[in-house]
Amino acid sequence: AQRVTQPEKLLSVFKGAPVELKCNYSYSGSPELFWYVQYSRQRLQLLLRHISRESIKGFTADLNKGETSFHLKKPFAQEEDSAMYYCALDQAGTALIFGKGTTLSVSS
Amino acid sequence: DSGVTQTPKHLITATGQRVTLRCSPRSGDLSVYWYQQSLDQGLQFLIQYYNGEERAKGNILERFSAQQFPDLHSELNLSSLELGDSALYFCASSETGGPGELFFGEGSRLTVL
C-alpha cells in the first residue's frame, strides 16, 4: 500500500543551522512527490515538487529511489521557516497521500 | 477572494446528528478533494470529485458522503456522528483531474459532543 512516513513530529533548530526534514515513501510505481507547508495562520500550500527540481525559499529535496526517500533540506534555517511541513505522494494521478507532518521550530 | 472557500469555519454538534460541510473551489478548478485531519492522524484523504463525477475514494466511512454540483461546489455530508469524527475537514481544489498542485481551504472544524 502507498504510504508516506515522516518520522519526526518536531524538529527544533537554531537560526543558521542546517535543516533536514525526513520523508520516506512506499510506492510500487514511479513516484511523484511533493512538500507542502503550513505557516502559522495560513493555508496549507505547495512548497516544492520533485519533478521541478527547483529550490524554493532555499529549500531543496532530492528523490532517492534506492532509499525511497524525499528529504527536505535547507543549509541555513531562518526564523520565518518555522511551520508545519508535510510530505505528499501522488497516488496514481488522483489524490495526494500525506504524511503526518513535521513541525519545524527555528529559534534565535 | 477567488481562493477555496469552506463553510462553516466551526461547527459544534451532538453524537448521532448529521452535518453538511460546503466547499467552493478556486475559479476554473474542476477537481475537489476532501481531507480529514484529526489528532495524530495527519491529513487523511477522503474523496475526490472531478467535474461532477467521483474520481477517487480514500478512507471515507459509509456514514460520510459527498457530491459535486454543476457549479462545481462540493458538499461533504457526515451522518450518525460519533465523538471520533471530531476533526478539521479540509477541502482542496486543482485545475485538472490529477492532483498536481492542490489549493487548500482554511478548513471546517467539527466538534462532536
Tens-digit pLDDT profile for residues A5-48: 999 999 999 999 999 999 999 988 888 999 999 999 999 999 99
Q: What is the pLDDT of residues B48-73, one digit of tens each?
A: 999 999 999 998 999 999 999 999 99
Q: Are the beta carbons of A98 and B33 separated by less than 8 Å?
A: no
At residue B40, the pLDDT reads 75
SS3 state of residue A8 = coil
Higher pLDDT: B81 or B42? It is B81
The rounded mean pLDDT for chain B is 93
Distances (CA, A) of A88 to A77, A103, B25: 22, 15, 21
Considering only CB atoms, B101 lies closest to which of A46, A97, A101, namely A46
pLDDT over 90 (residue B96)? no
What per-residue confidence (pLDDT) applies to B84? 94
Residue B92 pLDDT > 60? yes
Task: Find the residue in A nearest to B106 (Cα).
Answer: A43
Q: Other C-beta atoms within 10 Å of B61: how many? A: 14
B104/A45 touch (CB, cutoff 8 Å), yes or no: yes
Closest chain B residue to the Cα of A93, Cα to Cα = B98
Q: What is the pLDDT of residue B1?
A: 55
pLDDT score recorded for residue B99: 66
Minimal CA separation from B29 to chain A, in Å: 14
- Phi first, then psi: give them for residue A40, nearest 5 degrees: -55, 130
- The contacts of residue B4 (CB under 8 Å, 6+ apart) are A43, B23, B24, B25, B26, B91, B92, B93, B103, B104, B105
Q: Which of A9, A44, A47, A87 to mutate to test the interface with B (most CBs of B within 10 A)?
A: A44
Contact across the interface for B43 and A98, Cβ inside 8 Å: yes
Interchain pair A43, B104: CB under 8 A: yes
Assess whether pLDDT exceeds 80 at residue B97: no
- A55-86 pLDDT per residue, tens: 889 999 989 989 999 999 999 999 999 999 99
- CA-derived radius of gyration, chain A: 13
B98 to A44: CB separation less than 8 angstroms, yes or no: no
Q: Which residues of A touch B (CB under 8 A)?
A: 36, 43-46, 49, 86, 90-91, 93-101
The rounded percent of chain B whose pLDDT value lies above 90 is 87
Task: Report pLDDT for A43.
Answer: 94
Residues recorded for chain A: 108
